[in-house]
Structure 1
Amino acid sequence: MGNYTDGLLMVLITGIAIYLIYRGMQSWVRKPFSLRSGIGFQFNEEIMEHPAVDLLEQAGFEIISDKLKVPLAFKVNGNVLHSRLFIDYIVTKDREMYLVKTARERLTVEWTGSGVRKELLPFLLLYPECTGVLYVDTDLGDIRTIALINDEDEDESAHKGTWRT
């Protein structure tokens, strides 16, 4: 009777182990895809005077870095292509970090899904630890918050809207 019980116990333990591994793999496969950038920040703590700085401070943001140049390199068919992204400011508010882009006359953002994707998605993907991107238009006196969300989150407070001064 002892050999029969030991064998049954081993089959039961093996079955439980296989079930737990299966559940763990399911959880891992369903986990949301997240990009992690190896491109870090080199903060530029010397903040230059600019109307955008005043607008951000009036809205309660703390500027922690001035303009940054993010160098990028792409390998295409064995050739290395170089480019860069520019971040105007990095700010914090309520323990959340935001990248800031300022409006430019020659580089306007079309406020549609594809327009926002084209102009601002690279920043949101490169730095997923940031809460979002603030788009500052000093001529209009507003700050728009852009955050990358799931479609399920659409009705939640992920859209923080526009600050006006």
Structure 2
Amino acid sequence: MGAYSDGILMVVIAGIGAYLLYRGFHSWVRKPFSLRSGIGFEMNEEILEHPAVDMLEQAGYEVISDKLKVPLTFRVDGEILHSRLFIDYIAVKNGEFYLVRTARERLPMEWTGSGLRRDLLPFLLLYPECAGVVYVDPDQGELKEISLTTEEDEEDESA
């Protein structure tokens, strides 16, 4: 009887261990997505039909999250101020993450260095490990990949 009870005890312990591993893995997979910026957000896995999604998929991107709101809190002389950034989509291509912004009629993108700095730099600085921002204008049929680079990077590519 002793060997039989030892076997049952081992099966019970293995079952509990497997359950704990499953719960830990499941919790890790479902935790808020942060891209190491410290400002995390939960993925919005319900992706609604939109021409921008179709354009991204045709260009080889996999859309993994729909519209997100990233809350921001600032402390100014002891006073707390709140704001937020909106990310239209998160997409993956070749194993790299991209934040996606779609064109807005009320806020057209100014395609100058200062315009890109004003409109996109906050996203690139909050999530520096992203490969860049993809700008999608379904009305014009445009899809542009924008990344932050340096002059040294430009020299390396031309060499």
Q: Does 1:53 align with 2:53?
A: yes
How many residues matched? 122
- RMSD of aligned residue pairs (Cα, Å): 1.2
TM-score (norm 2): 0.74
Structure showing greater radius of gyration is 1
Amino acid at match of 2:144: R
| TM-score relative to the length of structure 1 | 0.71
Could you tell me how far 1:156 is from its partner in structure 2? Answer: 5.1
Tell me the alpha carbon deviations over residues 11-66 of structure 1, each in whole angstroms, 9 at most, x when there is no partner. Answer: xxxxxxxxxxxxxxxxxxxxxxxxx6211231100000111001001111100000
Partner in structure 1 of residue 81 of structure 2: 81
Q: Distance in 1 between matches of 2:89 and 2:156?
A: 27
Higher share of residues assigned helix: 2
Runs of 5+ unmatched residues, structure 1: 1-35, 158-165
Following the alignment from structure 1 to structure 2, what is the Cα–Cα distance between the partners of residues 129 and 43?
17
Give the match for residue 119 of structure 1.
Answer: 119
Go from structure 1 to structure 2 and tell me whether the alpha carbon gap of 1:40 and 1:55 turns closer, same or farther (over 3 Å shift): same
Equivalences for residues 22-61 of structure 1 within 5 A: 37-61=37-61
User: Cα deviations across residues 56-81 of structure 1 (Å, max 9, x unaligned)?
Assistant: 01111100000000000111111111
How many percent of aligned residue pairs carry the same amino acid?
Answer: 70
Q: Which residue of 2 aligns with 1:71?
A: 71
User: Which sections of structure 2, spanning at least 5 residues, go unmatched?
Assistant: 1-35
Secondary structure in 2 matching 1:86 = strand
Alpha-carbon distance in structure 1 between the residues aligned to 2:120 and 2:96:
18
